[in-house]
Amino acid sequence: MLPRQPAKLLRLHFSEHDRFNGAPLYEAVADACRRLGIAGITVFRAVEGYGESAGMHTRRLLGHDQPMVATIVDTAENVGRLMPELAQMLDTGMIAISDVEMIRIEAHGPESGT
């Protein structure tokens, strides 16, 4: 059985047009995660959604501003180091935090025989 450890799952919800220091927000968040050594991040472009403003984010013929979701998984300690950076980056949006179990699977090198 693979070892499990407690972890946090963050889901950041924001808009495709959101920026931080001139860069797309999703790129800035991914860069911060990499810099802080966060275990992983995946960014998804959603089809449609809305948030606090109730303004629909969607792709239309004449323009688009699709919702984005960034999913981050790591230990509570590492997520705690990331949260102040995220708070500075997000003007609007939402962060959902869940307690999860994390299983790390590592590739076996040629010396291991697999």
Model pLDDT, residue 95: 92
Query: Using an 8 Å Cβ cutoff, are 1 and 62 in contact?
Result: no
CATH code, residues 10-102: 3.30.70.120
Q: What angle do CA 53, 69, 95 make, to 5 degrees?
A: 65
- Does position 54 have pLDDT exceeding 50, yes or no? no
Tell me the pLDDT band of 61, cut-offs 50, 70 and 90.
Answer: very low
Would you state the structure tokens that stand for residue 72, as one six-digit string? 């981050």
Find the helix or strand (DSSP H, E) in which 27 lies.
helix 25-36
Task: List, for residues 63-105, the tens digit of each pLDDT value.
Answer: 567 888 999 999 999 999 999 999 999 987 789 999 999 988 8
Distances (CA, A) of 4 to 7, 77, 85, 98, 105: 9, 16, 27, 16, 10
Mean pLDDT of the residues in the chain: 85
| Domain residue limits, the chain | 10-102
**Helix, strand, coil share of the chain (percent; to 5):** 25, 40, 35
Model pLDDT, residue 63: 55
